[in-house]
Amino acid sequence: MNQSSQSNESKQATLYRMVLPDHVCPFGVKSLELLQRNGYSVEDRHLSTREETDAFKAEHGVPTTPQTFIDGERIGGSDDLERWLDS
């Protein structure tokens, strides 16, 4: 199997982002668009309350959301994701 067909099959990401009734995080939207534009199939996980968001941040030891995971590795927030995709 050549590299390009292999990578098309395995480009999967999990994105955790804040989607509240009164607020959708613009950085989460940016991360989702970056992943989709780069050919990733995205498992889009919404953090739908402040409590859920705070619990996620505490569990993963991160100060902010969104957070992107690719192949089980935490890539980070939208700026981190952008740098990772560019590298």
pLDDT for the residue numbered 9: 62
Per-residue pLDDT tens for 40-69? 999 999 999 999 999 999 999 999 999 999
DSSP string, 16-33: EEEEETTEE-HHHHHHHH
pLDDT at 34 (0 to 100): 97
- CATH fold of 8-86, please? Glutaredoxin (3.40.30)
Report the pLDDT value the prediction gives residue 10, as an integer from 0 to 100. 74
Has residue 5 got a pLDDT over 50? Answer: no
Percent of the chain with pLDDT over 90: 86
**Angle, helix 26-37 to helix 78-86, in steps of 10 degrees:** 20
The more confident residue out of 2 and 51 is 51
1 Cβ partners below 8 Å, 6+ apart? none
Residues 34/26, Cβ–Cβ less than 8 Å: no
The residues spanned by each domain of the chain are 8-86
